[in-house]
Structure 1
């Protein structure tokens, strides 16, 4: 006989699962609704709004900008994240903890505050290239994810292997390239995935740094949402969710989610 406690636990787990999946399922169904408005369950499924999305120039321009910005941000974040993580995990120096807190501070600062601050700073410095501003702004907000991912893995790397390589004649650079980097691969891949996903989905910073020449997909989507509320918005949300799920799936298959964040 199944105990009441186990039944209650299963019911609670099912309710949590429904709570998490219901909004996602609803958005996907709305994206397949052929009607011009959002209202209830669609009478039948249609790809009408997906075709509209693909043919809508503003969305496509925003998506192209987001892909460029996210790609550049991903690479820059990896480089800066690796150098910062090595400094924070391999060397002892005065102010190390303060530097670590400073680099991770974007995680606790409201995104809107960061956006306003970056806009003000870039204007005072005379930075007029919106694409450059977007990449630099996204670098700042994605760097903490990179540092956490890479630092966690570097801490778990056996220092004896590095010392053994040096003992056999390898210099610092060769030891880093042939020993440290390969062992830190899970953290590097996690950094790439997280920084790309965060940059791609960011709105609060992007909306302040975008202009008519260079605007991100999220900025284009919210501008459209202010004027029109139709299933095209659900299509955009569905594609963003699918994109994020694919990134997580690839990360899990290549190195494993737990390993990429240093849990094993």
Structure 2
């Protein structure tokens, strides 16, 4: 088989692979954004409900009503158990996003390598090749940044999940008592609830940031898909010109 036909088959195969990957990325992006919006709405509602219960506990605490304090605290613990479970699920999702962004980085590296090989073969417009290479390098930088963001998000989620689980473990079996000898511990346990609330607030902010990142990544991936289409169109145009020659 002649070299130019081998190159043509190689490029066409690459185009089909890129097209399939682009469709997959588009579906993943849409799913992540929809899920992010849903999670953000849920997290905000749950945070507000948690704050409302803490306000009720504050009242019971101030009046030294141990029965009411423990009743509300038991209800809050149920919410904490739910939140710890959700944090674990978010950590799993964040790990998957690292795998996805890592795959995108590897894909861009292949495209850059193939751009260089294509340019080395010559025969086509060198300016087009240089433009394609510059475009893919910019996309690669975006993908590396996205991967760094995903790693940071994952580590932050792990840290919050571990902190929440630790607080839950300390509070789960505790019962408020307002005897003089028990007041110091009661204050410390109440402070743990405030720490848990802070972690929920951090979680909401992280979800907002991740959603914005997903939206930005979706725009970048849309631009990359457009670039890939342009590269395919350029290749098809060049082939037609060569046939006419």
Q: How would you bin the TM-score normalised by the shorter chain?
A: 0.3 to 0.5
User: Which has more radius of gyration?
Assistant: 2
What TM-score do you get using the length of structure 1 for normalisation?
Answer: 0.34
- Structure number with higher relative contact order (C-alpha < 8 Å, ≥ 6 residues apart): 2
